[in-house]
Structure 1
Amino acid sequence: MAETKEKTTIPVEENIATDMKIDDDRTGDDSAEFTGATLEIGSGSPNPPVPSVAIAGGAAADGSAFDRGRPGSVYGRQSIKSTTSRTSMRPGYVEPVEITKGYFSYKDGSFDNAVENCKSLLKNELDGSLQGAWLLTEIDHWDNEREKILLLTDSSLFIVNYNFINSKILDSKRVMLHLIDTIQVGDLTYPKESVMPDRQHGGVRILWNKGEQPSFGQMWNPWCSSIPWTTFSHHPVLYNPKENETITYNVDDFYESLLQAVSKAFQKKKPGEKVRLIEGPILIENYLGVSSLVFNQSHLGFFRDRNGVSF
């Protein structure tokens, strides 16, 4: 069992609007349903309060808002700390141990070695020191799922596509934290007109598009790497009962660490400016994605041993 590395909790910073705007786009439905809440975080007063968010209906059963008291990430496989999920998990789904063992990322020392290899991407003068590492599921603009290593530093977020079979970095993306303008957490949903089956779980979306939408060509190119946002959910290994407490695969732990890192980056790079923090449904624009349905159900975006065939 890896040693747990505790991180000092840094409050997400200030300038909280006193008039909270609640996004509610329901029409003719008076039932209690979660519709989202928006909060702005930024830099300003030297001793800001820890922010709380008013939720429009359907909030957590205990009435709680954003909790800042969870532990920091560790590089190792497991933690004795609880990681109760804020982003919803698929109800009733259990990842059998036989399936879990098939992930090459789950082999002994595989993730730790991958993190060490990925450290070669970091530039100390630009990125600062490494704050945490996670293995999560990225959902791209074509609704395809792939496992990605996330490295969070003082100033940057690295999203790394890593081949766990050959121990090679396939590609990577650096997102400067002070360029992020919106962070969203909530259930993943499809448009009403979509015939895709409900995902029944949540995730986190990070945007740095300043409100601008990608071009038609970008959105319809499945290999486009310039989409100015990214979406993450729990890694499937988290659904194994033995790994329910493992924060390496938990998107909630990444989310809370990201909030703290972004807050500090804005204090340093953009004092006075703000980031939108949204709790509400995350829309995936997939109406009839047969290719993504096959891709995801076959776990083609994950490096696995498939009955003797490894890819």
Structure 2
Amino acid sequence: MKKLVGALAMGAMLSMTAAYSYAADYPERPITVIVPFSAGGPTDTVTRLVAEAMSKDLGQQVLVENVGGAGGTLGAARVAQAEPDGYTLLLHHIGMATSATLYRKLPYDTLNAFEYVGLVTEVPMTIVARKDLEPTDFKALVEYAKANKDSVTVANAGIGAASHLCGMLFMSAIDTPLVTVPYKGTGPAMTDLLGSQVDIMCDQTTNTTKQIQAGTIKAYAVTTPERLEVLPDLPTTKEAGVDGMEVSIWHGLYAPKGTPAEIVDRLSKSLQLALKDENVVARFAELGTAPSPQEDATPPALKEKVESEITRWKPVIEAAGQYAD
């Protein structure tokens, strides 16, 4: 019996030693970050900037792979089912939390299928419209939407996309249901807005700032508590008289459940360094956002964010009744 106990103890020690050695040598090959949306969108832009900066610190290339579809749940499912070795990661936005209510049958358990690495950024949203839409300011836009609710169209990049969530929040805040027009990605939605095929869209500054500055779309408001330096003339929704519209699209980095704690810690520290990278800071500023502070680029901060956002969005989604199977 003593020999058996001793053998088991020795086996456990060897296993722990092997795991430690594995984590200490990490990474030994390129890492892939899954973006659960199409290339060229806001989340893809954020991910590629961060991946490039993390590559410098980790000494291995951090590749980005786009796995779009089903509001980000296909890409998230890919990572949830991946080997928990730190070589397949997920960078997802607020949809990580809202999908828990939006989708009746998720292929993973949102709160228990991932290890949390840290928050990356919180991107402000903008209320924009086709260039030739009649209203001249946000107050007039709300009045126009209410008066023409059966014909005013609100574009989004698909169920679960940031633009879909913000569009629901807009309709909830003005207590008026509008005609929702979903697309297969941000690119097609913006193309039709530029072509005046749809009326309104609520989307991230990472996707709208350049269009606003170029005057190719009409901007009405930002969804932040204060005005943005990059768009100083754009009022906040609260300034414009609408409460309940303050929202930012936060992004977080995840690993599959069971990834060794040492690897998660290594990734979190690398993320924190990446968010201080001069190029990341400068490019984020151009896009109307900023990197998350160091204390937020941590596993506990991201976990708390996901849990609180599931609670926050659940009643909004249930009131809108816009679910996906």
Give the TM-score normalised by structure 1. Answer: 0.26
Higher helix proportion: 2
Higher strand proportion: 1
Give the TM-score normalised by structure 2. Answer: 0.26
